[in-house]
Amino acid sequence: MEYQQLSNGVQIPVLGYGVYQIPQEDTARCVTDALACGYRLIDTAQSYFNEEQVGDGIKASGVPRDEIFLTTKVWIEHYGHGPTRRSVEESLRKLRTNYLDLVLLHQDFSDVYGAWQDLEDLLAEGTVRAIGVSNFMPDRLVDLCSFANVRPMVNQIETHPLYQRDEDRVWMAKYGIAHEAWAPFGEVRGGLFTNPVLEEIGPQHGKSPAQVILRWDIQRGTIALPKSVRRERMEQNADVFDFELSEQDMARIADLDTKTSSFFSFRDPAMVEWFAHMVEERKAGSVAANEKKAW
């Protein structure tokens, strides 16, 4: 495994394993398999509802905790000075660990500054080794960098050959923020695995389009977080350190950029309303569950 240094000196693997949308019943096995395949970065989130299973998988793997770079993300319903700390403490309990290597704010909505103050405090205490954000567009990222006491060390954003995020990268580089890629394969929405350019480049190196994409990420200095529930795919995705793409290869992949998300815009007011509505629904569900327990 290769590593990249964050702005505070912490070393992070350049390739990680993401557990988004992996069913709870499969998560522990997948995490154990990923660690057996050589992954040392495991990326989860409070909103994935599988932190406990990630903790189970890490324990079952037998890999020492200090060899694993463990990331979780704070969901927006837990934003604010106080609630964020309590939510991270709950994540620590679920993950069966007394520290986290990286904690991110999952979205740039709600009380970002109150939440960030809690992350700064946890960082200063040593409960968290690095802090950052996810899905922050350049304007919100620069705002946080300009007024917070500690700048984010990571921004995890949708990134793949069809949405390369060049403008975001300029601003992240200016503020010393590492670029992490979620959905590095675009969740196959754009047909990347059958893209003619990637299919042509792959055989020249004895690699698949998926491996070409991950190698492209690594050569751009991007930390990639592929996901698979199949061990053979995990092994294939991890096998990207024995070849190098040429300048011509990189240029051809650069030409694939559509500058358009494969999912949705975080600047769409309707999407902001959707996120807010989801938080209210989850709050209502939690209240109903607590009332049921009281009875």
Write the pLDDT tens digit of every residue in 13-49.
999 999 999 999 999 999 999 999 999 999 999 999 9
Query: Can you read off the two tokens belonging to residue 42?
Result: 């495991």
pLDDT level of residue 173 (50, 70, 90 thresholds): very high
Distance CA 295, CA 198 (A): 59
pLDDT value at position 285? 57
Q: Which residues of the chain form beta strands (DSSP E)?
A: 3-5, 11-13, 17-18, 41-43, 69-74, 102-105, 131-134, 154-158, 178-182, 223-224
What is the reported pTM? 0.94
Mean pLDDT of 86-95: 98
Domain locations along the chain: 3-261, 264-295
Asked if 163 and 197 count as a contact pair (C-beta separation under 8 A), the reply is no
Summary mean pLDDT of the chain: 94
In the numeric block, the tokens 């109903």 are attached to 288
pLDDT exceeds 70 at position 291: no
pLDDT value at position 190? 87
pLDDT exceeds 60 at position 249: yes
> Which residues have a catalytic role annotated?
48
pLDDT value at position 288? 42
Query: Can you read off the two tokens belonging to residue 226?
Result: 């592929």
| Alpha-carbon distances of 155 from 78, 243, 276, rounded to whole Å | 19, 27, 22
pLDDT value at position 287? 38
- Beta-bridged to residue 133, according to DSSP, are 105, 155
Distance CA 196, CA 40 (A): 32
Distance CA 109, CA 275 (A): 9
Q: Right CATH number for 3-261 from 3.30.70.100, 2.60.40.650, 1.20.140.10, 3.20.20.100? A: 3.20.20.100
| Alpha-carbon distances of 200 from 197, 257, 268, rounded to whole Å | 5, 17, 36
Which of 73, 99, 87, 78 lies closest to 18, judged by CA?
Answer: 73
Q: Fill in the amino acid letter for 219.
A: Q
pLDDT value at position 58? 98
Query: Can you read off the two tokens belonging to residue 78?
Result: 């837990």
pLDDT level of residue 272 (50, 70, 90 thresholds): confident
